[in-house]
Structure 1
C-alpha cells in the first residue's frame, strides 16, 4: 500500500495538537481541507484514526498505535534535517585527506591550521600513504582528497584540482659540511659518504632509486629509515648524506643545522597532484578546504 507521506504528516500534527483547527493553522491550510486529508488516510488504511471530543480530537486505539510509529519516523526525519543543516553550516562533519607526511608538513600545514581555526567542529583525518594506496582509497570513497605523485599514476576517474612542484636535495650535518664545499657528482657522492634513504614503498624513495640508476648505480643505502625526521637527525649527526624534500628541511637549512650538498647534475623536480574523485559530489567540509587551499 502506497500512501502519500504528506497524509502521515497531517495525521501526526493533528494528533500532536489534539485539534483540527490548531493543526490547520500550523499547516497553513483550511479545516475542511485538513479533515478531507484525514478521511482520505482513514479510507486508505481502512479504519478510523480520531474521534471527536469536547476539547477537539483524540486518537482511537488503532490511531494511537499508528502514532507511536509515525512519531519515531517524524523524529528521525527532523534529526536528519538538523544533521544536514549542521553539515552544511560546518557545525559538524569530517574531512579525510591522504598525503605523505613530508608534503603535509611543508605544504598543507598552514591551510590545515587556518581551516581548523575557521571550522573547529570539523574532524580532520590525515592519513600518510603511498601514491598507489591514496588512489585506491580515493577510488573507494575512503578519503575526500588525495595528494599523489603524478608520474606513473593512473589518473582515470580522478580530477586534478591543483598541482605542486617538489624539489629534492641531499643534505649533511656540520661534521660533513667541509667535505662538500664544491659541487660533486652523484657517483662521487655515493662513493664518498654513506647514503641515508627512506624505506622502500614511497615516491620519494622511488625517485631516489631512479636518480642513482640514471647514473649506473644500483643503490644500497647504508641507512634506511621510516620518516624524514629521522633522516634529518641522522644527517645532523654526521652519519651520511640524506635525500630529502628541500622544503621539508628549510628551517634546518636556514639555521645551519643541515647543509645542502651541491650536486653537479640536475635533480628532477617531482610534480604532485591534488586529486578528487570524478562524478563524486564533495561534502561542504571538503569544498571549504579546497577553497582555502587553492
Structure 2
C-alpha cells in the first residue's frame, strides 16, 4: 500500500466535518482534489470509507474503524507540530549559545535578563567556551549564536557583529599598595609578579602584543585557565593582572583590590556576536538578535 500521511490527513478532515467543501477549505486545496484523494485511498484500501448524500459524507462501518486509528495518529502528529512550533516560537522557544566568560559577564547576562523581561517563556541554553571553541560550535551547528570577547576574522558563511566595547583594568591587592594612586609605566610594572591566562588564550596573545608594542616581553609568573580565576588570585596577593572592568567592580568597592593606573593605555576590546548565515535560526533566536541590535552600548 502506497498511501502517505497526506491521504490520511484528507480522510481525517472529511470524516471530522462530514463535508467536502469544509475539508477542502481547512486543507487549503480544491474540492475536486479532496474527492480524488478519497477515491485513491478507497482504491488502495479496497473498501468504501464514505457514503455520499445530500446531507454530506458519512463514514461506512469500515470507515469508522479506520477513522478510530487515523484520528489517534493525526492527534499525535498535530500535537508534535504544535509542540515544535512552540519550541521555536517566543512562547516556549530555546536559544542555544556558546560564550566566553568575558562576553557573559560584560554583556550577555544583562542582555538575556532584559530580553526575558519581555519574553519570559524563552529559554537559554549556555555553553561556556573559549573563543575558538565558541566559533567551532557555530560552525558545527551545535549552537545558534556565539558571543566572544576577542576580535578575529571569520569566513563565510559565518558573520560577526560588534555589539559593544569593553575595557580591561589592571588590579592589585594589599601587598602592592605602593602602586595605588599614581600613574606607572608598563616598564616599571613589568618587574612585578603578573597573573594571566595561559599562552593558548587569545586574551594572552593580546597582552603579549600590548607588551611587545612597548618594547617589553610579557612573562607572567602565574598562568590560569579562565579569566574568573585572576581576580581571586590578585585578591590573595599572588600578583597583579588585567581583568575586564565589570569583573572587578564589587571587589574594588569592597576595597579588596584596587585599580593600578598604567601610563600606556590598553586598547579597547569588543564583545562580538558570531552566527552562521546559512543556519536556520528559530523565531526566538531571530528576535534576540533584533533585540541586541536595538541596544545601546
TM band (smaller chain): 0.7 to 0.9
Cα 1:67–1:107 change in 2 (3 A) is: same
> Quick check: 1:138–1:276 contact (8 Å CA) kept in 2?
yes
Structure 2 unaligned segments of length 5 or more: list them. 26-30, 52-57
**SS of 1:109 mapped into structure 2:** helix
Cα distance per residue 1:146-192 (max 9 Å; x no partner)? 1234534324322334432222221112331223432222222121x
Residue pair 2:195, 2:239 contacting (<8 A) in 1 also: yes
Rounded to whole Å, the distance in 2 between the matches of 1:244 and 1:236 is 12
Instruction: Please tell me whether the aligned partners of residues 103 and 149 of structure 2 are also in contact (alpha carbons under 8 angstroms).
Output: no
After TM superposition, the structure 1 = structure 2 runs for residues 82-101 of structure 1, keeping only pairs within 5 Å, are: 82-87=82-87, 89-101=89-101
2:23 corresponds to which of 24, 27, 30? 27
Could you tell me how far apart the structure 2 residues matched to 1:109 and 1:250 are?
A: 16
- Which structure 1 segments of 5+ residues have no match? none
Rate the CA distance shift 1:156–1:13 in 2: closer, same or farther, 3 A.
Answer: closer
Displacement of 1:196 in angstroms is: 1.0
Cα distance between partner residues in 1 of 2:88 and 2:61 = 38
2:98·2:129 contact (CA, 8 Å) conserved in 1? yes
Q: 1:213, CA displacement in angstroms? A: 3.0
Tell me the residue number matched to 1:263. 262
Give, in angstroms, the shift of residue 205 of structure 1. Answer: 1.9
- 1:253 aligns to what? 252
1:291 aligned residue: 290
Q: Whole-Å Cα distance in 2 between the matches of residues 182 and 149 of structure 1?
A: 29
Question: Does the 8 Å CA contact 2:94/2:123 hold for their aligned counterparts?
Answer: yes
Distance (whole Å) between structure 2 residues aligned to residue 171 and residue 72 of structure 1: 66
Matching residue of 2:47: 48
Distance 1:5 1:127, change over 3 A: closer
TM-score by length of 2: 0.79
- The answer to whether the Cα contact below 8 Å between 2:172 and 2:259 also exists between their aligned partners in 1 is yes
Distance across 2 between alignment mates of 1:118 and 1:270: 29
Matched, 1:157 2:119: no
Q: Does 1:226 align with 2:225?
A: yes
Q: Secondary structure of the equivalent of 1:240?
A: coil
Cα shift readout 1:35-66 (whole Å, capped 9, x = no counterpart) = 954762256416213376xxx533439x8468
Per-residue deviation at 1:104? Answer: 0.8
Give the structure-1-normalised TM-score: 0.80
TM-aligned CA deviation for residue 94 of structure 1: 1.3
Local SS of the residue matching 1:197: strand
Worse overlay, 1-10 or 180-189:
1-10
Matches of 2:268 and 2:113, distance apart in 1: 27
Aligned residues of 2:95 and 2:125 also touching (Cα < 8 A): yes
Bigger shift: residues 35-44 or 141-150: 35-44
Cα distance in 1 for partners of 2:61, 2:12 equals 11
Deviates more, 1:93-102 or 1:152-161: 152-161
- For the residue of structure 1 that corresponds to 2:281, the secondary structure is coil
Conservation of the 8 A alpha-carbon contact between 1:94 and 1:125 = yes
CA distance in 2, matches of 1:51, 1:158: 55
Count of residue pairs brought into register by the alignment: 284
C-alpha RMSD over aligned residues: 3.4
SS at the partner of 1:243?
strand
CA distance in 1, matches of 2:161, 2:265: 28
In the TM superposition, residue 23 of structure 1 has moved relative to its aligned partner by 4.4
Q: Do the aligned partners of 1:10 and 1:37 also contact (CA within 8 Å) in 2?
A: no
